[in-house]
Structure 1
Amino acid sequence: MILECFIFTVITFLVTETQCQATEVFAEEGSGAVLPCKTNSLSLIPAAIVWSKANKGTVWRKQKSGLQYWGASWLKSGSEGTRVRCPHSQFERGDYSLQINRVTEEDGGVYSCSVELDNRVVEEVVILRIIKVTVSPSVPIWGQDVSVTCDVTPWPYGLSVQWILNNSPFESQGQIISDRDVTKSVVRQKATARLTGNWSCAVSIRGKMGRASATVSVKGIIQPSDDNTKVYAAVGSSVVLPCVFSTGLIPSSPVWDKLKPGSHFNPAPGLLPRSFSPVSPLSQFAWDRSASLKEVAFDNEGRYRCSGIVQGQRQTRTMQLVVAKIESNILSKKKGSLMLTCQLSDTSEVTDYEWVRVTYDPNGTQSFETIQKGNKLSISVSEEIQGEWTCRFYGRGGILGNVTHHIQLMSGLSGQKSTRSSYNTAAVVGLSFLLVVLLLILAQMYKNHQRRKRILQYPALETIVHSISNEREEKERSRIKK
């Protein structure tokens, strides 16, 4: 036994230093591994096979009689049975490879395969390296220090390590430790949504490659995923300010603030708008702390912050509300033109504007017509312009939002057109008044004519009427003289 241990110690040393005769095999912890052992000569005579591990003794062996033996450390109690096997179906092909199921970190090391065929012994040396990726803490909270470690047992000199996150090479913003003086590669970062996903450690040495993976799930505020995320809303509309924690993560002491303009490092809270509601009508779960504004005003723009305590640590997220409106101005009363201007409280992410006219058919079906690009639109009031005019604004990732302006009446758009309407109304009223007066005069003249006509039919009566009228006039004159 002492001699065997000495021999494997020498083999281990030689393999580690020269790496010229050993076969490298990588396996992820918990997976299966196949240690190759093949010969070029075929024999019908049963072979004696011995698989051993340096400093651990026999793993598995088979005598020429067919009897098999397992090392004590490789036998499992219960229904699991043994973790190692050497398929007999492959022996006739000269394949005596060893299969190990559910490999552990302790399985890493130097293995030896010895096959006795026709009084000839064939030996192979295999190095099994176990790759393991661990995350600490296992479920990090947003803002905590998190370490992702890649262990390779045994760790070889000159090993190349590459970290892959969600199928893309990981670009570290923190610290990665990996050199000849350590036996692991460690990524240390602050836990953010950027770290969420599948981490893979890809290793290679002398053309042999292996990989192991682990999933990182960062808990905290998951929506919005980053600070200073912009939320767009039109004046007069309602808007939801998102603040959603990880599923099942219920924060204590949730608070909403509107931050005063100024420093981004230590902003002071200000007054929330009157229409602000700390609970969104869409919130159905205790971990959804989204808020809402029922009717957005232009001065509601600015930065908002939600926060809550999770596992003794306060989680915060800031977001910016960008408010959009359309200004309407009359350019010229004589020409009758109207200028619409699309205004946003922050245009830093806006790359383009688009004006769209919205019309409805008798059935109420909407139709859209793109008019022009740019944040300004000039309209002639001679056209049929009443209806809805929408300004859409775009960013690099597509549409950011839109705002709509309603034009009700053409007469209200131009001072000239309103003045003409007033003049026409006055003229109609004046002509109507003159016509009424003329009709009254004609009616009075007709009545006088009819009365005279009746009197002329009785001459005596006419004489009496004239006499009475003359007497009245004389009396009036006499009274005046007195």
Structure 2
Amino acid sequence: MPLDYFIFVMITFLLTAAHCEETEVFAEAGSRAVLPCKCSPLYPFIPTILWSKANKGTVWRKERNGLQYWGYSWFQRVRCPNSRFEKGDFSLQINNVREGDGGVYSCRVEHGDQVVVKVVTLRVTEVSISSSVPVFGIGVWISCKVTPWPHGATVRWTLNNSPFVPQAGIAANRGTTENVVREKATARLTGNWTCVVDYKGKEGRASAALAVKGVIHPSKDDTKVYAAVGSAVTLPCVFSPSLIPSNPVWEKLKPGFLFKPAPGRLPTSFSSSFSQHPSDQSASLKEVGLEDEGRYRCSGSIAGQRLTRNMQLVVAKIHSSIPSKDTGSATLTCQLTDTSEVTDYEWVHVVYDLNGTRSVGSLQKGKSVSISRVSKENQGEWACRFYGRDGILGNITYHIQLMSGLSGQTSLGVSHNTAAMVGLSFLLLVLLLILAQMYKNHRRRKRIFQYPALETIVHTVSNEREERERKQVKN
């Protein structure tokens, strides 16, 4: 290509005996390229304009009479705006630039004996990816191609508008037309890749989007999931929407095995495959205990590749301590099985009224908080919130009613209440016995009144017996 370029320029210069200027233009594949050709606007009428490409012939030509001509395969994509001719601007526009459009172009402007020639080198840049949607763990190549390749140019990469620092290294073959990044597909490669080419003060750019498929949530290994003792928690394991993993497996990893962790026994409250979406293999624990903390791993096979994601369950609880000398106070301490990501603690007092309305009291900072156990103002919930660098990590609540051992006036009040309840119970029992006896007498009289004739006979017999007994006594 350099030899063809040199011959093309020399022939153009010798045949015209005109002043020749060279320009470099970069354009991304698929975009619009503008090849500049500007002259002094001193022409009284439109001159003859000829755009041609080395080894390809005429691209576009305009005669003095206004007739225009296009070269083969250029008609749909090439134009030269007439509105700029009066200003001496004869720049050529190429729409939907292709890789084959790269090369050397010349703009020849003729006006009588005056001839002006502009030489433009169009370099087409493009970023290509070996696999449009690579899967985690599979090697991926990201190539930067420039046609024709600018020898002596420097190439740098950006990922999501930030300089890319390779782990596997950049393999640059300056003797060819590409610059390649070779990496293993991970979440860090996801985003917009841009190849920046610097050459002779000009800058060319090309971009391409890369989406790595696999486990998208959590997005990285060793993500921490926080849960309070006694609560339910979800351990996320979500694959890309179009991926359906085969043979999904959940494991709890034994501690002490960093490089090759051995699987252990899952908790009794562990449950998996509760989602209706095949790509969602998340699991849950219905009731978290302190013994459930530790590392968990989910895995599934995609196209013969085993994809895994490790995560850590951090369990939180509130410890209540009472001083040896009972002073009516207690200290609540927020405890976590792993505090490596915790930067701050915050205590919030939550109170509910008779209508169930929730109100929040003042906030207190610190891992521990001291409260009075006999104060009515401290009744309700005490919530401990713990924060990390990116915001709140989780929270756990403690009910003041669950505290044991009331002292002082509170204990005395409980004794008085107990005695009063015993006395009231005794009086109620006596009243029930009296009422039962009254009811019994009432029922007996009622049964007798149901037979009045029998009552008269009984009464008469009784009177006669008494009369005979009196007569016997007189005799």
Q: CA deviation at 1:370?
A: 3.4
The residue that corresponds to 2:79 in the other structure is: 85
Q: Are the structure 2 counterparts of residues 188 and 11 from structure 1 closer, same or farther at C-alpha, using a change threshold of 3 Å? A: farther
* Pairing 1:72-471 to 2, within 5 Å after superposition: 72=72, 74-75=73-74, 81-178=75-172, 180-280=174-274, 283-384=275-376, 385-408=378-401, 412-414=404-406, 420=412
The residue that corresponds to 1:465 in the other structure is: none
Instruction: Kindly tell me the number of residue pairs found equivalent between the two proteins.
Output: 413
Q: CA deviation at 1:54?
A: 1.4
Q: CA deviation at 1:152?
A: 1.1
Tell me the TM-score normalised to structure 1 length: 0.80
* Inter-partner Cα distance in structure 1 for 2:408 and 2:122: 92
The residue that corresponds to 1:457 in the other structure is: none
Name the amino acid aligned to 1:368.
V
Unmatched 5+ stretches in structure 1: 13-19, 76-80, 433-482
CA contact (8 A) 1:332 1:338 kept: no
Q: CA deviation at 1:243?
A: 0.6
* Inter-partner Cα distance in structure 2 for 1:199 and 1:381: 61
SS of equivalent to 2:227: strand
Name the amino acid aligned to 1:341.
T
CA contact (8 A) 2:334 2:384 kept: yes
* Inter-partner Cα distance in structure 2 for 1:339 and 1:116: 95
Task: Provide Cα deviations, 1:176-204, integer angstroms capped at 9, x if missing partner.
Answer: 23364443222222211111111112222
Q: CA deviation at 1:371?
A: 4.4
SS of equivalent to 2:192: strand
Task: Provide Cα deviations, 1:364-384, integer angstroms capped at 9, x if missing partner.
Answer: 221122342222222222312
Name the amino acid aligned to 2:64.
K
SS of equivalent to 2:260: coil
The residue that corresponds to 2:439 in the other structure is: none
Q: Are the structure 2 counterparts of residues 61 and 337 from structure 1 closer, same or farther at C-alpha, using a change threshold of 3 Å? A: same
Name the amino acid aligned to 1:376.
S
Q: CA deviation at 1:219?
A: 0.5
Q: Are the structure 2 counterparts of residues 333 and 11 from structure 1 closer, same or farther at C-alpha, using a change threshold of 3 Å? A: farther
SS of equivalent to 1:214: strand
* Inter-partner Cα distance in structure 2 for 1:93 and 1:431: 113
Name the amino acid aligned to 2:113.
N
The residue that corresponds to 1:441 in the other structure is: none
Q: CA deviation at 1:68?
A: 2.7
Q: Is 1:64–2:48 an aligned residue pair?
A: no
Equivalent pairs: percent with the same residue?
A: 61
SS of equivalent to 2:322: strand
The residue that corresponds to 1:480 in the other structure is: none
* Inter-partner Cα distance in structure 2 for 1:82 and 1:329: 83
Q: CA deviation at 1:422?
A: 7.5
Q: Which moved more, 1:423-432 or 1:314-323?
A: 423-432
Q: CA deviation at 1:11?
A: 7.3
CA contact (8 A) 2:374 2:406 kept: no
Aligned Cα root-mean-square deviation (Å): 2.6
Name the amino acid aligned to 2:24.
E
Task: Provide Cα deviations, 1:309-341, integer angstroms capped at 9, x if missing partner.
Answer: 111101100100000011122213431221212
SS of equivalent to 1:355: strand
* Inter-partner Cα distance in structure 1 for 2:11 and 2:159: 37
* Inter-partner Cα distance in structure 1 for 2:402 and 2:116: 99
Q: Are the structure 2 counterparts of residues 11 and 297 from structure 1 closer, same or farther at C-alpha, using a change threshold of 3 Å? A: farther
Q: CA deviation at 1:431?
A: 11
Name the amino acid aligned to 1:156.
P
CA contact (8 A) 1:203 1:209 kept: yes
Unmatched 5+ stretches in structure 2: 13-19, 425-475
CA contact (8 A) 2:21 2:117 kept: no
